[in-house]
Amino acid sequence: MTPNNTVVVTDQLESVLALSMAAFPEDKLFLVVDQNSNRFCLPLLCDTPGIEKFKKIVIPAGEENKTLSTAELIWLFLSQNGADRKSLIVNLGGGMVTDLGSFAASTFKRGVQFINIPTTLLAQVDASVGGKTGFNFNGLKNEIGVINQPIQVIIDTRFLNTLDHANFISGYAEMIKHGLIHSQDHLAELRKFDLQKPDFLVLKQMISHSVLIKNYFVEKDPQEKGIRKALNFGHTIGHAFESLSLTQEKPLLHGHAVAFGMIAELYLSHMICGFPDGNMHHLSKWLISVYGNYRITPDVYETLYEYMGHDKKNEGKRINFTLLCSAGEVQINKNCEKSQIFEALDYFRELNN
């Protein structure tokens, strides 16, 4: 199934890539992988006709390497190997590789065309689609970057066979978000899906559905001036949980933090936009059953509130939320009182105790 011209969901990755690379000079093909995708994902491409023509750079894996110095490594490699504006850069890996490789491509000689081949569920349904590129800076995630669209995103669910459960459900949280902000049908299929025994054929259809929803918002508002902010549902409080967890024993994976953020933001949606409370309770309990408990105490509320204040989506001092009137009906640019945010944190805390 093909959500649009740019994003292809396929199990014929080799032939899709062979077709796309044929439009570029064969000495101008570059591949960016990290240590993990080099080892575990690149073998899936070995039957691609012409794959040996790619000049490959292997960057260090891990969020801690999503930095300017790793971008420099890519620029240096491109520079020393004759890359120019006729080149094609293929980024193969999770969100760290697609974000950083896309940034390096977007800025090298003022922009080289690139293709993303995301290999984690999180990167397939979110990071690699929509053109957000960049790296972490000064302790802040994705602080530096540009929005620039890939010429193609090729999604192959065969990469997900080896993904562990925690990382799998991390990506799944962004799919749930897509259902909540835009489609009750998508939400219903996600709730029905057996996460313990994933059926990969059904998953492939659901990924297509999810990517269509993401694209709907990106195409309407590529620069995130308005309705694209719908995609931030669950992220204002979710990012605060993620940052808090970095100071604790066990950091939360991004999607887990977003799932917990969605619970608190469902409560805000109920208070501010009239989201029905019965549905809010059902959804919250379902999210806890998938993601487990995350216990907080009232003494972290001020710290969480501080973190929310640092969110780059805020304008001025006000904390900007995306909320829901009902599943599928979204409202952007909603500001909440500190007391309302604390009440939402109370709801979350009590649910987890």
178, 254, 270, 349: the active-site residue: 254
Residue 224 bears catalytic tag: yes
Beta-carbon contacts of residue 305 (< 8 Å; ≥ 6 apart): 240, 338, 341, 342
Query: Token pair of 116, please?
Result: 């993303």
CA atoms within 13 A on the CB side of 33: 16
Measure the CA–CA gap between 105 and 103, rounded to whole angstroms: 5
List contacts with ligand GLY (CB under 6 A). Answer: 126, 130, 132, 224, 228, 231
Query: Token pair of 329, please?
Result: 């009906």
Query: Token pair of 337, please?
Result: 């009182």
What is the identity of the amino acid at 257?
A: A
Q: In this complex, which beta carbon is closest to ligand GLY, that of residue 34 or of residue 126?
A: 126
Measure the CA–CA gap between 254 and 234, rounded to whole angstroms: 11
Residue 214 bears catalytic tag: yes
Residue 85 bears catalytic tag: no
177, 178, 235, 349: the active-site residue: 235
What is the identity of the amino acid at 13?
A: L
Q: In this complex, which beta carbon is closest to ligand GLY, that of residue 219 or of residue 337?
A: 219
Expressed in percent and rounded to 5, the helix, strand and coil fractions of the chain are 55, 15, 30
Residue 239 bears catalytic tag: yes
The distance of closest approach from Cβ of residue 261 to ligand GLY in the complex, given in angstroms and rounded to an integer, is 13
Q: Are 212 and 3 in contact (CB under 8 A)?
A: yes
Q: In this complex, which beta carbon is closest to ligand GLY, that of residue 132 or of residue 182?
A: 132
Please name the residue ranges forming H helices in 123-233: 165-182, 184-192, 200-220
Q: In this complex, which beta carbon is closest to ligand GLY, that of residue 4 or of residue 303?
A: 4
Residue 235 bears catalytic tag: yes
Residue 349 bears catalytic tag: no
The distance of closest approach from Cβ of residue 254 to ligand GLY in the complex, given in angstroms and rounded to an integer, is 10
The distance of closest approach from Cβ of residue 231 to ligand GLY in the complex, given in angstroms and rounded to an integer, is 4
The distance of closest approach from Cβ of residue 132 to ligand GLY in the complex, given in angstroms and rounded to an integer, is 5
Q: In this complex, which beta carbon is closest to ligand GLY, that of residue 228 or of residue 256?
A: 228
232, 242, 320, 349: the active-site residue: 232
Residue 256 bears catalytic tag: no
14, 174, 242, 265: the active-site residue: 174
28, 66, 177, 228: the active-site residue: 228
The distance of closest approach from Cβ of residue 224 to ligand GLY in the complex, given in angstroms and rounded to an integer, is 6
Angle (CA) 14-19-23 rounded to 5° is 140
The distance of closest approach from Cβ of residue 176 to ligand GLY in the complex, given in angstroms and rounded to an integer, is 14
Helix or strand (DSSP H, E) at 31: strand 29-34
Q: In this complex, which beta carbon is closest to ligand GLY, that of residue 192 or of residue 225?
A: 225
Q: Tokens 């080892």 correspond to what residue?
A: 39
> Which residues are designated catalytic?
110, 132, 174, 214, 224, 228, 232, 235, 239, 254
